[in-house]
Structure 1
Amino acid sequence: MIRKTATLMCALVGALAVLSALQGFASADEPGFVAEWSVKPEFDGKKKLRKSISGAACAPVSPPVCAVALDEKQRTQFFTIDGDRIVPGKSMRLLPKELDGAKTGEIDAEGAAYGDGFFYIVGSHGLSRKKAEFNQSSFFLFRFPVDGETGHPEFEFSKKKFAPEIERTDALRGILKGAPDPIGQYAEKPLGEGSGGVNIEGLAYRDGRLYIGLRGPSVGGLSFLRSVNVDALFFNSKPDLDVIELALGSGNGVRDLAAVSDGLIVLSGPVQSKGTYALHHLSLPSLTLSKLADLKMPDKDYKAETVLVLAEGAETVKILIMYDGAKDGGPREYLLTK
């Protein structure tokens, strides 16, 4: 089943009034912007790895404990939030060095989510951008349990040794290939051509389901979410599958997702390398899609690829944006109306 969102709406007059009241928190040229955050100490690794943050999610503990998706290497790294500062912690290897006697590659992680005691990290499930090559390691969804009070794993882990408590599944590959067109039609096709092959860039958890945001394809101004019950992925339960169409505009796709009480926050951006970025609110189950804000990139080489919900009110949502291409994600805080 394919479900269509309502026509993309501009911010309502009432929402504009609330934004006006928040001008003390916003910069003059970017409504909703609050402040840049600091990161101390630095994230692990060389500069290339530190510039590869492509998603993050937090366990709802105090202070929040979060995990990042990195599109380089085979690991995740934890961090906590202290006021307006990100405090990186330990790194954890997600994949063994070998599978079935063959050396594993980079997992190309592009999305992270948290739900019901588990963190989830998902690979791109797409062909390599430059050479359109298949890499088995990027076609996995990982999950691992954490303590409900601390947000940390109770098992031993390191960035060098794989821990058996980390689960993985390749079931999403078949779910994407078997999806109604155009998703199925563009599965495992090159991202850099035409409408863009299927490439996961967003992940969110709500009510026992994972919502998978697709950067590509973009067809007729529409982008797509694929959702599935978690039990079908890890317990072989009967799949309950859904497709949601998002009217994000020609050449735009999903760059990240985050769950809120009444739906999802959608970070949109270009399918290809150049274009604009924006934040949207998708109301569930009504599927009403409304734009919250257009985003300005702090640098021409930055790509907004992470959205974290810091706090949520009846009409407002506090959001943290992080950027692929920025060392340590270059976090920036926004306060917006839903």
Structure 2
Amino acid sequence: MILRRDATLALAAIACIAIPSRVLPAAAGGETWVLPAAAGSATWAVEGKLFGEPKKDRAKPGRVDKDDVKKSTDVSGLACATTVGFPRTCLIADDQAQGVQIVILEDGRLLAGDFIRLTDETHGDRALDLDAEAVAYADGLFYVVGSHGRPRHTDGGPDDPSSNARAAASRKLFRLRIDPAAVDARGRLTGPVAVTASTALPGLLAAERALLFDQPLKKDGLNIEGAAVKGGRLYAGFRGPLVGGRAAILSVPLGVLFEGEIGKAEVTTVDLGGARGVRDLVTFGDGFLVLAGPVQDPADGSVADGDYAVTWWDGAGRTKSLGAVPSLGPKVKPEALLPLGEADGRLRLLVLFDGPDEGGPRVVEVDAP
């Protein structure tokens, strides 16, 4: 097991990485659903179990078994080590879990592999989730980013110890090095994972007053929901707040976050149309794909066609609307994008959702940038 000295992981959490858990058996553009070639259905299958919230009577340090957690219903991020062809080795996040899970992406299905625990923090008898809202990959490394926000639904304010503990648990960034040869065809680990933890991002966020750090989302406070790595920089996209009516994306050199280098963050604002922030952010070609969605969910949980859309962003000032994500009904919110391929001016995307069991993965087709 290789672990940088700045990793703030408990020994029990490290043990569960070295001895992995087993989870097998194993608004424009004329958007439409398309059928993946091998699956014959717009819905992709999940084989195995994607991990979600820990069960209350099983919230304990150490190894995580599939019986210790509920089935995922809050998928929040996905990134893969390769961008073309199948199979692909990927990491998936559920924002109620205490880590991430290996998945093998095949054309038409996801194979649920081993779980990598990144935290085992508790407050009282409650397991504190990482609130991981984004997963990114670049140059042989995965990155997992917590929301860095305050709890959205039960925030008791800065004088509430439980709320403060939950907020602190989300303010972490992890870098994972996984040797491709150490993951088998079913997503099982056969070798160690090198994990580096960073807590440098909160200070950079707090220095940007417009981002309303440490304010709850219901008061337009900061909440990271998308992240990408490009050109040696981490790009963090915010669901909220909007800055001047536009979505905010912060970028910072990786060396500042992980190597203690001197540098500063930069904030760019992007017009995503209406009161929409970033729900996911992925690199694509020379720029990025942005999944845009409402900053505040409607009280009744309704999701209409066009509420969520995909935009291409060049990383500076130019954007292009690529198309909307069709509604699947109330409380089914798009949370993660993965480009699958481009042909005849159309871009196929795998979209995973918050709400359905195991993300309800589906393929959506939009305009190519």
TM (norm. structure 2) is: 0.74
- CA 1:241–1:316: 2 relative to 1, 3 Å: farther
Matched, 1:137 2:169: yes
Matches within 5 A, 1:147-158: 147-148=179-180, 155-156=191-192
CA distance in 1, matches of 2:309, 2:286: 19
Do 1:146 and 1:154's aligned partners in 2 also have CA atoms closer than 8 Å?
Answer: no
CA distance in 1, matches of 2:127, 2:203: 20
CA distance in 2, matches of 1:95, 1:239: 28
Query: What is the CA distance between 1:71 and its match in structure 2?
Result: 0.8
The aligned amino acid for 1:332 is R
TM (norm. structure 1) is: 0.80
1:107-150 residue CA offsets vs partner (Å, 9 max, x unmatched): 11100001111111111100111214223110000111012566
Identity percentage of aligned residues:
33
Q: Which residue of 2 aligns with 1:324?
A: 354
CA distance in 2, matches of 1:230, 1:198: 21
The alignment yields a C-alpha RMSD, in angstroms, of 2.8
Do 1:77 and 1:89's aligned partners in 2 also have CA atoms closer than 8 Å?
Answer: yes
Query: What is the CA distance between 1:221 and its match in structure 2?
Result: 2.3
1:126-178 residue CA offsets vs partner (Å, 9 max, x unmatched): 01112142231100001110125666866447xxxxxxx32111111011111
Aligned residues: 299
Q: Which moved more, 1:200-209 or 1:308-317?
A: 308-317
Q: Which residue of 1 aligns with 2:314?
A: 283
CA distance in 2, matches of 1:280, 1:307: 12
Q: Which residue of 1 aligns with 2:227?
A: 203
Matches within 5 A, 1:243-322: 243-274=267-298, 276-285=307-316, 287-312=317-342, 315-322=345-352
The aligned amino acid for 1:188 is D
- Aligned to 1:232, the other structure's residue is in SS state helix
The aligned amino acid for 1:126 is G
CA distance in 2, matches of 1:315, 1:238: 43
Q: Which residue of 2 aligns with 1:39?
A: 46
Matches within 5 A, 1:44-55: 44=51, 49-55=71-77
Do 1:140 and 1:170's aligned partners in 2 also have CA atoms closer than 8 Å?
Answer: yes
Matches within 5 A, 1:62-73: 62-73=86-97
CA distance in 1, matches of 2:240, 2:52: 29
1:48-88 residue CA offsets vs partner (Å, 9 max, x unmatched): 55101101110118521111122113121111111111111
Q: Which residue of 2 aligns with 1:119?
A: 142
CA distance in 2, matches of 1:220, 1:243: 12
* Structure 1 unaligned regions, length at least 5: 1-9, 27-33, 158-164
The aligned amino acid for 2:81 is A
Counterpart pick for 2:218 among 192, 206, 218: 192
Do 2:133 and 2:226's aligned partners in 1 also have CA atoms closer than 8 Å?
Answer: yes
